[in-house]
Amino acid sequence: MVFPVFADHLDQLARRRPAAVIPWASPVPYFGAAPSSVVATVGINPSSLEFLDEGGHELDGNARRLPTLRSLGLQRWADADSRHLRRVVSSCGAYFNGQPYERWFGVLERVLSPSGITYYGPEPSAAHLDLVAFATRQKWSSLPFQERRRLLASTSAPFAMLMRFMSARVLVLNGRSVVEAFESSGRAEFEPVRMKSWDLPRAATDVPGFAYVGRIDRFAGVPLGRVVTVVGFNHNLQSSFGVTSTVVDEIGVWLASLIRGNL
């Protein structure tokens, strides 16, 4: 059951919330059908736009994606009980049935599609995990290094617990920053493999493409109870300047061959 993972995160919000975290936003360890999915994409932490509009106001009504203190009728996370916990868990699980952040997940869905894997529909086969379950006011890359390290350290154990509860056999790391954060948090290491067909053209020097492939049976020293294949690419598909449709499609074909060989 995933409830202990969410309870741990709610306890962190109630007792020792890091300063960078949006205080009223619920934790989001995963998006979609994580317990039953065979593949999970991985990011670092939820975007603030999962909770805020472009003007910085809390999403509300039909635009709301995930729970907040206000939507749960709470003044503080310390007052959350089992009913509130169930609502947070349910909202994360049903995320792709509502108003998903398509500017982000649409690209990942595209790169998964050659594998026949999807976040959507009555029988979804993919979910999305975040190493850090908390949305932050600033973008992750803008946070001080020590703050990023503290956040990763504080959530590595719940992430390992989540992996033990899940059935996913393949993790897909979206971008070099995610690869590096996963290596740091999970005490793993993946060797880059040069992929020339993924190079991004530049006027001066092209940005080289790299793939990462490895296998883990533990995360942050915690046994997972199975071997999980971890694959990744150095380009952040949503953020890397100049990521072309051709490169996205090339990565999708490469990913499909690995996923089919490991399920």
Contacts of 260 (CB under 8 A, 6+ apart): 115
List the domain range (segments joined by +) for residue 204. 28-57+100-262
Separation in Å, CA 112 to CA 28, 126, 198, 224, 263: 21, 9, 16, 24, 14
CA-based nearest residue to 37, from 128, 160, 169, 126: 126
Per-residue tens of pLDDT for the chain, all 263 residues: 788 889 999 998 888 777 889 999 999 999 999 989 999 999 999 999 999 998 889 999 989 999 999 999 999 999 999 999 999 999 999 999 998 999 899 999 999 999 999 999 999 999 999 999 999 999 999 999 999 999 999 899 999 999 999 999 999 999 999 999 999 999 999 999 999 999 998 877 889 999 999 999 999 999 999 999 999 999 989 875 678 889 999 999 999 999 988 76
Measured distance CA(53)–CA(243) in Å, rounded: 25
Number of CB atoms found within 10 A of residue 197's CB: 11
Question: If residue 10 lies in a helix (H) or strand (E), which one and from where to where?
Answer: helix 3-15
80 in a structural domain: no
Write down the residue that tokens 């934790």 correspond to. Answer: 27
Would you say residue 174 lies in a domain?
yes
Residue 10 in any domain: the answer is no
**Is 4 contained in some domain?**
no
- Residue 151 sits in a domain whose CATH number is 3.40.470.10
Does the residue 94 lie in any domain?
A: no
- Secondary structure element (H or E) that encloses residue 121, with its range: none
**How many domains are contained in the chain?**
1
Q: Which residue has the tokens 């694959």?
A: 231
**Per the domain annotation, does 76 fall within a domain?**
no
Instruction: Tokens for 6, please give them.
Output: 């969410």
Q: Classify residue 213: in a domain, yes or no.
A: yes
74, part of any domain: no
